[in-house]
A and B are shown apart, each in its own frame.
Chain A
Amino acid sequence: MAEKVIAGYSVDVTEEGYLTDRSQWNKEIAVELAKEVGIEELTEDHWKVIDFLQKDFEENGKMPTIRRLKKAGNIPTKELYDLFPDGPLGKAAKIAGLSKPASCV
């Protein structure tokens, strides 16, 4: 774990740059985190995904899957990939201030 200044805010992050304390997250930080993963501008559609991830994480205490984004969040998988290319869940989670999708090891 390390401390890092993002958009002028001092936050705690993992070695891979994921926020460890959700209460430190804000939208300005999200914009900077998006640039880190190669997304220059967060559009309304990006925010729809980020909002759903945060809301779902709040309710269920875990990261939703791509299947859940489609079924419960009404976010088509193709759109998800267009918005967050390559590893959409990992990228969107980082921007949303959530933990990286992980296995037990």
Chain B
Amino acid sequence: MKKLLILGAGTAGTMMANHLSKKLNNNEWSITIVDQYEKHYYQPGFLFIPFEIYSEKDVIKKKQDFLPEGVEYIQKKIEIIEPENNRVKLEDQTVINYDVLIVATGSKIVPDEIEGLEDGWRVDIFDFYTIEGSIALRDKLKEWKGGKLVVNIAELPIKCPVAPLEFIFLADWYFTKKGIRKEVEITYAIPLDGAFTKPRASAVLGNLFTEKNIQIVPNFNISHVDAENKKIVSLDGKEVEYDLLVSVPTNMGDELIERSDMGDELNYIPTDKHTLQSKDYENIFVIGDAADIPASKAGSVAHFQAEILTENIISYINNRPLEAKFDGHANCFIESGYNKAFLIDFNYDVEPVEGEFPIAGIGPFSLLKETRLNHLGKMAFKFIYWNMLLKGMPIPAVPPHMKKSGKKI
């Protein structure tokens, strides 16, 4: 019996378990998936919790409920990957030998990478990338009377690069509904040279910040937080004062990758951006946020990758060349408040442009345009995630490779 081992039962790992349990011959292959946590989070939903649009029940379910029968699930912490010996050790010293390994250990925020961030943590400094953070921020916002709200991205890359924009737009709407928008000054301090960096998106979205009265501090690479004096300081000495700081701290791959000496300076694994095979070990594949590839760290990316990677794993175990190529395809809604949203669809080579999605000439969704229907799509996505995506079911009319039809390229 050969062993296919998956590390991580988040979005990417769960989808791979579901795909492969259908494709692999279960007389020849056994599949094991390891993850230390019991709960599966619908991470795109964290954004809505601070504004009381979603609550805990919308975003938390049991991992086990989404794993197929016949796949062995081990809920333990992983100690180390030993790629030279084709084996993984768990915290309790259990050894699992594998023939093929899929690493899907994701990425997470690491607040202690930024000096001073933890001094005011969950007092007047919050995040919305964890369940605990988004709940704490919800409770803070309920009682907050206004002042300087600063949203800061510490460094790139981050998970779901559009989420901080959505947070700002939803905050603007939330304070307006509460009748205290005039008392709130919203500032967006980021390392990039603008809120929008791609020409076509900038042309369409560029005015939103002025319209919504949001200040931008570009080229702000954070050095440290002075929590006592409530200001963030950049590497070149720029200062931005806050009353409430919503931080997107440094994102990093799991410490397991560092312990196993398999990652780059952010613990991401060097991976072929098309085949998803590790650059160093031919029987190791990497999917989702754990890879160092220049695609967005997002669930839609993991979904498209999962279809490609399934094909390549089947090719690999049959000694055939890896012919399926991931094109960097991502598909993301951008909530803009007032029950409206934008939708973007892009890949490594094609930036977000206007058009219709998923069907040319029909839609029903509009690309790079603010519509109510896009918002309804975003809200419907929670159902699709729990009921289709995790189970590896294809989404009608949305293949893994980006379609050029329907786009004004």
What is A's interface to B at a CB cutoff of 8 Å?
14-15, 60-62, 65-68, 71-72, 77-78, 81, 85-87, 89-90, 100-105
Contacts and interface: CB of A to CB of B under 8 A. Distances in A.
A77 B235 contact: yes
Contacts of A101: 156, 191-193, 197
A68 B193 contact: no
Contact of B155 (A14, A67, A81): A67
B346 A104 contact: yes
A90 B294 contact: no
30 contacts: A60-B292, A61-B273, A65-B155, A65-B156, A66-B155, A66-B191, A66-B221, A66-B235, A67-B265, A68-B264, A81-B235, A85-B236, A86-B236, A87-B219, A90-B193, A90-B219, A101-B191, A101-B192, A101-B197, A102-B197, A102-B198, A103-B156, A103-B162, A103-B192, A104-B296, A104-B344, A104-B352, A105-B165, A105-B201, A105-B202
Interface of B: 155-156, 161-162, 165, 191-193, 196-199, 201-202, 205, 218-219, 221, 235-236, 264-266, 270, 273, 292, 294, 296, 330, 332, 334, 344, 346, 352
Contact of A100 (B197, B221, B294): B197
Nearest to A14: B199
Contacts of B162: 103-105
Contacts of B156: 65, 101, 103
Given A61-B294, A66-B155, A66-B221, A105 B198 contact: yes
Contacts of A68: 264-266
Contacts of A67: 155, 265-266
B197 A103 contact: yes
A81 to B, nearest CB: 5
Nearest to B198: A105
Nearest to A81: B236
A62 B197 contact: no
Contacts of A85: 236
Most chain A CB within 10 A, of B155, B218, B221, is at B221
The 8 A-B residue pairs with the shortest CB-CB distance, nearest first, are A102-B197, A105-B201, A87-B219, A62-B294, A71-B265, A103-B161, A81-B236, A103-B197
A105 B196 contact: yes
B197 A105 contact: yes
Majority-rule SS of A interface residues = loop
Contacts of B193: 87, 90, 100-101
B294 A104 contact: no
Given A62-B294, A72-B265, A105-B197, 14 more contacts: A61-B294, A65-B156, A65-B265, A81-B235, A89-B191, A90-B193, A90-B219, A100-B197, A101-B191, A105-B161, A105-B165, A105-B205, A105-B334, A105-B344
Contacts of A102: 192, 197-198
A15 B199 contact: yes
Nearest to A70: B265
Most chain B CB within 10 A, of A15, A78, A85, A104, is at A104
A78 B237 CA distance: 11
A72 B266 CA distance: 11
Contacts of B294: 61-62
B285 to A, nearest CB: 18
Most chain A CB within 10 A, of B165, B196, B219, B266, is at B219
Contact of B219 (A65, A86, A104, A105): A86
Contacts of B197: 100-103, 105
Nearest to B153: A103
A14 B81 CA distance: 43
Contacts of A61: 273, 294
B273 to A, nearest CB: 6
A105 B193 CA distance: 12
Given A66-B155, A67-B155, A104 B198 contact: yes
Nearest to A64: B265
Contacts of A65: 155-156, 265-266
A61 B219 CA distance: 23
Most chain B CB within 10 A, of A81, A101, A103, is at A103
B5 to A, nearest CB: 27
B206 to A, nearest CB: 10
Contacts of A103: 156, 161-162, 192, 196-198
A60 B270 CA distance: 8
Nearest to A66: B221
A88 B156 CA distance: 14
Nearest to A86: B219
Contacts of B235: 66, 77-78, 81
A101 B155 CA distance: 12
